[in-house]
Chain A
Amino acid sequence: MQGMNQFLKLVARNALRHRLRMSLTLAGLVVAILSFGLLQTIISTWHAGIDHAVPSRLIIRNAVSLSLPLPVAYQKRIRSIEGVRSVTYVSWFGGIYKNEKNFFPQFAVDAKSYLEVHPEIRLSDEARSTFLRDRRGAIVGRNIANHFGFKAGDVIQLRSMIYPGSWEFVISGIFDFSDPNIDTSQFLFHWNYLNETLRLRSRSQADQVNFFMVDVGALDRIANVSQAIDGMFRNSAAETHTETQRAFQIGFVKQTEAILLSIRTISFVVIFIILAVMANTMAMTARERLVEYATLKAIGFGPGYVGWLILGESIVVALAGGAVAIMLTPPAAAYFGVFNSALFPSLNVSSSTMALQGAVALLVGVLAALVPMQRVASVRIVDGLRAVG
């Protein structure tokens, strides 16, 4: 295109013309797109469990409520069902480290079968054998280990909000997941340690688990295996409800749907506000330069050219704000995570969130320019030349 350099020069220099106004608009854009990115990150973190659920994995919980336990004795009966490859069980510990602020997910698990059902857990051979050997052993996800500075061999104490007393653990190793996008904020220890201690301290809580996890292997068996499990325990004292891991996670997230909806709404309201601010800035800018645009049209430039000047300037400003916001989002998320480690032990800003921020910035730039573009393109040259900037 002839004169592209001149066009880009005009766009860039116009964008920097009212430095204070543009700086304030830019600051608003950065705050809005950063907030949008953070809120989207919170939402995607909330949904992470759904996204990373394994399709061939079933969760078996008490049919009445997840908070009601199931007898651990169910394991043998579940294993006997045709199509079940392996079964493990889990109890939620609900412990705090030192004080209430230091809350993170802890699970009492049947170590051997849990690691079998979860091949995605990456643990060194040494850590694995130490963990399996040590009754008080625990393995810690890398996020939690990094956050609290845990390392292999450390002895730590947790206080549970569910089970009485103080509990001592020895860190056997640090684990990762094969997919680096999965959050490693879990603390896993031996269910046997929990159960043996409960037999002494709180007999009524012993020999129970929160849920079972089954690896079915083949996806086409899921329906049959689910029905068989629930059928097996029908009319028993603790009926079961079997569902896929994904359905389980969705159900879990659904309990907080109102909160998520509020967060999502706020994130879009923030964008709408900055869109209004940006549109106002561009309208003011176009109004002030009406004489210049009319002059360009008089000397032969078409309405499209002046329209593109406004659109280009709006996009440049919006993308500049978006780029700064995108760069600031990961450190801001990390900072936010530090102060909200109980709720969000790990706030990882995904590339799709960053792409969404970029797209939103672009959209704001385009939408903000539409009305001024239309006005400038349609204004008669003689009226434009008479305008007072």
Chain B
Amino acid sequence: MTTPVVSQGVGRENVFIQLRGVSKSYRRGKQIVPVLSNITFDIRRAEFLALMGPSGSGKSTLLNLIAGIDHPDHGSIEVEGENIARLGDADLADWRAANVGFIFQFYNLMPVLSALENVELPLTLTSLGRRERRERAQIALRLVGLEDRERHLPSELSGGQQQRVAIARAIVTDPTLLVADEPTGDLDRRSAEEALGIMRRLNEEMGKTIVMVTHDRRAAEHAKVIMQLEKGELSERMELRHG
């Protein structure tokens, strides 16, 4: 049972991500198209935030900025006090490797690597030895219930299983922030519920902060907070209480 409560913001306590006056526009030919304008809001630690809105509202762009794979034109994005908008590409890559786990709509697994090797991939950026990397990847696969599929290639797995491998890859480095762009967009309802259930457990039991973009109202109801974007501006913030 989920009860929506409309609110305008979060308290100052326990702020994990702080966006202030964030704007972003794209150049399309000679035209400059504004996508986000003057976005200001906070995300609490261990929040599960769903970003919703119609196509072109800027929700994926906002997610990209929070994840550090794009730069804002103006404004600041502070994650645990560090303004990632000021980081250069190389520093940002290091920051993402250490702090962010990615879950994509189409899973984005390496088709030539097995489930275990895919999960192990981000760990090659760490100083861990081969055995330890393998052990951690196996634990991550066990967390998503795919320990018996570790040698399978992505093409040998169903969509739901591939997304669970992608979730395992996202959490294997133990990042504090998980970003998910339409994680259920390519899944049937049952697989979507499984993936969302795992994400919810990661949020509730392991304290991961999750920012998820979705069109799917039912998917969004797994989050603790839903934010609506309209034409590049925040229009509504809704806290959900799960019964």
Q: List residues of chain A with CB under 8 Å of any chain B CB.
A: 2-3, 5-7, 9-10, 13-14, 17, 291-292, 295-303, 380-382, 385
A residues less than 8 Å from B87 (CB atoms): none
A292 B104 Cβ-Cβ under 8 A: no
A291 B70 Cβ-Cβ under 8 A: no
Counting contact residues on chain B (CB < 8 A from A), the size range is 20 to 34
23 contacts between A and B (CB under 8 A): A2-B124, A2-B126, A3-B124, A5-B130, A6-B120, A6-B124, A10-B110, A10-B112, A17-B112, A292-B110, A292-B111, A295-B108, A295-B110, A299-B102, A299-B125, A300-B93, A300-B98, A301-B93, A301-B97, A303-B89, A381-B70, A382-B64, A385-B108
Task: Given A6-B121, A295-B102, A385-B104, verify A300-B94 contact (CB < 8 Å).
Answer: yes
Shortest Cβ gap from B135 to chain A (Å): 15
Q: Is B20 in the interface zone, CB < 8 Å from A?
A: no
B residues less than 8 Å from A17 (CB atoms): 111-112
B residues less than 8 Å from A303 (CB atoms): 89
A residues less than 8 Å from B111 (CB atoms): 17, 292
B residues less than 8 Å from A381 (CB atoms): 64, 69-70
Q: How far is the CA of A357 from the CA of B64 in the complex (A)?
A: 47
Q: How far is the CA of A161 from the CA of B239 in the complex (A)?
A: 105
B residues less than 8 Å from A14 (CB atoms): 112
Q: How far is the CA of A2 from the CA of B126 in the complex (A)?
A: 8
> Can you list, as one digit per residue, whether each of B97-116 has a CB less than 8 Å from chain A (1) or not (0)?
11000101010101111000
A residues less than 8 Å from B130 (CB atoms): 5
Shortest Cβ gap from A306 to chain B (Å): 11
- Contact residue among A5, A291, A299, A382 (Cβ-Cβ distance under 8 Å from B96): A299
B residues less than 8 Å from A297 (CB atoms): 69, 93
Q: Is B31 in the interface zone, CB < 8 Å from A?
A: no
Q: Is B227 in the interface zone, CB < 8 Å from A?
A: no
A298 B110 Cβ-Cβ under 8 A: no
A13 B70 Cβ-Cβ under 8 A: no
Q: Is B49 in the interface zone, CB < 8 Å from A?
A: no
Task: Given A298-B69, A298-B96, A299-B102, verify A13-B121 contact (CB < 8 Å).
Answer: no
Shortest Cβ gap from A11 to chain B (Å): 10
Q: Is B122 in the interface zone, CB < 8 Å from A?
A: yes
Q: Which has the most chain B C-beta neighbours within 10 Å: A9, A13, A14, A300? A: A300
- Contact residue among A2, A7, A13, A382 (Cβ-Cβ distance under 8 Å from B69): A382
B residues less than 8 Å from A380 (CB atoms): 70
> Can you list, as one digit per residue, whether each of B75-104 has a CB less than 8 Å from chain A (1) or not (0)?
000000000000001100110111000101
A residues less than 8 Å from B67 (CB atoms): 298
Shortest Cβ gap from A290 to chain B (Å): 11
Minimal Cβ-Cβ distance residue in A for B153: A13
Q: How far is the CA of A96 from the CA of B190 in the complex (A)?
A: 86
- Contact residue among A295, A296, A300, A302 (Cβ-Cβ distance under 8 Å from B104): A295
Q: How far is the CA of A336 from the CA of B169 in the complex (A)?
A: 56
Q: Is B127 in the interface zone, CB < 8 Å from A?
A: yes
> Can you list, as one digit per residue, whether each of B122-155 has a CB less than 8 Å from chain A (1) or not (0)?
1111111010000000000000000000000000
Q: Is B117 in the interface zone, CB < 8 Å from A?
A: yes
A residues less than 8 Å from B110 (CB atoms): 10, 292, 295
Q: How far is the CA of A332 from the CA of B124 in the complex (A)?
A: 45
Q: Shortest 3 CB-CB distances between A and B: which pairs?
A: A300-B97, A3-B124, A13-B112
Minimal Cβ-Cβ distance residue in B for A384: B69
New contact pairs (4) apart from A9-B112, A292-B108, A297-B93, CB-CB < 8 Å: A14-B112, A300-B98, A300-B122, A381-B64
A residues less than 8 Å from B113 (CB atoms): 9-10, 13
Shortest Cβ gap from B15 to chain A (Å): 25
Task: Given A9-B117, A10-B112, A292-B110, verify A299-B70 contact (CB < 8 Å).
Answer: no
Q: How far is the CA of A9 from the CA of B116 in the complex (A)?
A: 13
Q: How far is the CA of A274 from the CA of B109 in the complex (A)?
A: 32
A382 B126 Cβ-Cβ under 8 A: no
Minimal Cβ-Cβ distance residue in A for B127: A2
Q: How far is the CA of A14 from the CA of B117 in the complex (A)?
A: 14
Minimal Cβ-Cβ distance residue in B for A5: B130
Minimal Cβ-Cβ distance residue in B for A4: B124
B124 A298 Cβ-Cβ under 8 A: no
Q: Which has the most chain B C-beta neighbours within 10 Å: A295, A298, A299? A: A299
Q: How far is the CA of A241 from the CA of B213 in the complex (A)?
A: 90
Q: How far is the CA of A13 from the CA of B112 in the complex (A)?
A: 6
Task: Given A17-B112, A295-B102, verify A301-B125 contact (CB < 8 Å).
Answer: yes
Q: How far is the CA of A380 from the CA of B93 in the complex (A)?
A: 12
Q: How far is the CA of A316 from the CA of B195 in the complex (A)?
A: 38
Shortest Cβ gap from B128 to chain A (Å): 8
Q: How far is the CA of A297 from the CA of B93 in the complex (A)?
A: 7
B residues less than 8 Å from A300 (CB atoms): 93-94, 96-98, 122, 125
A6 B117 Cβ-Cβ under 8 A: yes
A residues less than 8 Å from B128 (CB atoms): 2
B108 A291 Cβ-Cβ under 8 A: yes
A299 B127 Cβ-Cβ under 8 A: no
B residues less than 8 Å from A9 (CB atoms): 112-113, 117
Shortest Cβ gap from A8 to chain B (Å): 11
A residues less than 8 Å from B123 (CB atoms): 3
Shortest Cβ gap from A199 to chain B (Å): 81
B residues less than 8 Å from A3 (CB atoms): 123-125
Q: How far is the CA of A232 from the CA of B113 in the complex (A)?
A: 82
A382 B70 Cβ-Cβ under 8 A: yes
B residues less than 8 Å from A302 (CB atoms): 90, 93
A residues less than 8 Å from B70 (CB atoms): 380-382
